[in-house]
Homo-oligomer: A and B are copies of this chain.
Amino acid sequence: MPKVVDHEERRRRIAATLRRIAAEEGLEAVSLGQVAAAAGISKGQVQHYFPNKDEMLRYAVRTLRDQVERRVAAGTSDAPPDLRAVLVALLPLDDQSRTEALVANAFVWRAFKDDEIAAWFRAGYEQLREALAAFVAAEHGLTGLDAAREADLLLALTAGLADAVLLGHRTGEEAIELIDRQLRRLTDGG
């Protein structure tokens, strides 16, 4: 065998370039040629590491999910894990999270037609639901069912706010204020 190459590493680099293009110009701008050019490699090399475009897109979604998970976990790791910190980490407030949100948004439509991508979205959603429910139960001493419902409210609220921030309908500060307002109700009511 020739030139020993880390296949995963190549794929990750290509996927990262793909996400950059998707965030900047939309999924429709993602073509083999564009990705190759932006990554500074040849079209042939891209083909060498992905059997087709769909697989390339799926891989980009998988690694995006990993990236988001790592970032959210990192954002809460300096302090003890905190419900508020997780919710705020889900908002597109800096370049990194904004790019992730843009890419996720760009991929939403793919999820309707690609079951594998849909499965990744759903897994992320469920994981978040459960994590938030655990936080609510721990921080506000609610019983399981109530905690789950409050977590659902917070998750949907944060998702809606994230979209609004992304579209420029609200500022990040406004979104945080609204999250705090909702959290305050839990504290006061419990």
- A: residues with CB less than 8 A from B are 25-28, 102, 105-106, 108-109, 111-113, 118, 121-122, 125-126, 149, 152-153, 155-161, 163-164, 167-169, 174-175, 178, 181-182, 185, 189
Report which of B112, B122, B126, B161 forms a contact with A156, defined as CB distance below 8 A: B161
Q: Is the interface of A mostly helix, strand, loop or mixed?
A: helix
Contact A121 to B156, CB < 8 A, known contacts A27-B109, A109-B27, A178-B149: no
Number of identical protomers: 2
Cβ–Cβ < 8 Å partners of A174 in chain B: 152
Cβ–Cβ < 8 Å partners of A27 in chain B: 28, 109
Q: How far is the CB of A106 from chain B (nearest CB, A)?
A: 6
Report which of B153, B169, B182 forms a contact with A122, defined as CB distance below 8 A: B169
Cβ–Cβ < 8 Å partners of A167 in chain B: 108, 111-112, 118, 121-122, 125
| A26 and B157 within 8 A (CB) | no
